[in-house]
Structures are given as C-alpha cells and as structure tokens.
Amino acid sequence: MRIRKWLRNALTFLMVAAFITVAGSVVMSKMSGSEPNFYGYQLKTVLSGSMEPSILTGSIVAIKPGGDMTRFTAGDVITFRAGEKKLITHRIIEVTRNKLTGQLLYRTKGDNNDAADLEPVDPANITGVYTGFTVPYAGYALNFAGTKLGNVTLLIIPGVLLFLYALASLWKTISALEDKKSDPNASQPDTKAP
C-alpha cells in the first residue's frame, strides 16, 4: 500500500515537473526568439543525409557555441552559416589560408557527399562545433514542437493528462470516504456489554 502511494506521488510530481519544463522552455524560446538550449549547448535538427551514417537525417545534435573559431582541425565537425537562414553541419577536410589576405579558411564536406563544399568556410560564419551527442530521429519531434500545432499539443496534452490524473485521484478519495461511511462497522468502536 505504501509503495503504491509513493508511486502515485512520484508520478504526480513527474507529470507536474514535465508540464512546467515543457511550458517554460516553449515560452522562453518564443519570448527570446532563440534556438532551444540545454546547459549551454544548442540543439539543432539535421535535415539532410549529407552526414550519414555518422549523423542520421532527422537527428538532434548538440552544438557547443562560442570560443575561438580558428581552433578547429581536419576531422572536426562544425556547424556554419551558408546564407542568411541556412545552417550546415559538415566535417572539416582541410585547413587553408587565403593567399591574398592570409585569412584562415576551412574546406568542408558532408561524410555522405561525393565532393567537398564549393565555398570554404570563414571562421566568422561558424556557429559551433558538434559535440558527438546525437539523438536519432528526435529532430522530427523537435521540428513539430516548433510549429503552432506542436506548441499547442505540447502545452495542452500534459495539462489534460495532469487534469485527468487529478480527477482520478479525487474520484478514488471520494469513493474511499463513501465506502467508509456506508460500512457501519468501520465507524463504530468495538465495545462489549458487561
């Protein structure tokens, strides 16, 4: 009986914590207009198969932003801007310098691509380095969460589940009280006549 009560309380706590966490992260990312962050790591969704089999299409990868963007060497996987809104995660295959300016540049290539990327990457366009952490196929869910329907779903479903759980707990409590009230032996003390 104690274990069952403890499990019920733990489930209630987990549902409330999940609801608050999801609601908080959705609201905070919407208010700041930024990407989802987790303890200083940016979570990105891989939308193409250019890095397969290392990183599967639809995976979530953790990118560590910041730091000296000229520190990378061949073999590192970086995420960089290729245009206004396009981010690419590819492997560095060569570190070069511009012959005229001496500026450091990176030649990159997707592991699954036949040829290197056409343009070398300027360190100023690098947003972060891939940490090696990936969750296969979870990016599809993250992309869904970024839509209006996803936001509503992620806020409403945990709330409805929490509400239903509260109703079920209330129903059980009321039923237990009614059973106790209707049982005449439960409410009367044991006494013996002299």
Residues 6+ apart with CB under 8 A from 30: 151
CB 77 within 8 A of CB 89: yes
The CA distance from 73 to 94, in Å, is 8
**Strand-pair partners of 89:** 79
Q: From the candidates 25, 29, 48, 54, give the one annotated as an active-site residue.
A: 48
Is residue 83 left, alpha or beta, with left meaning phi > 0 and alpha meaning psi from -120 to 50?
left
**CA dihedral for 81, 85, 91, 94, sign (positive or negative):** negative
Place of tokens 């274990």: 3
Q: Is 48 a catalytic residue?
A: yes
Alpha helices in 50-146 (DSSP H): 138-145
Residue 15 corresponds to which amino acid? M
Q: Known catalytic residues? A: 48
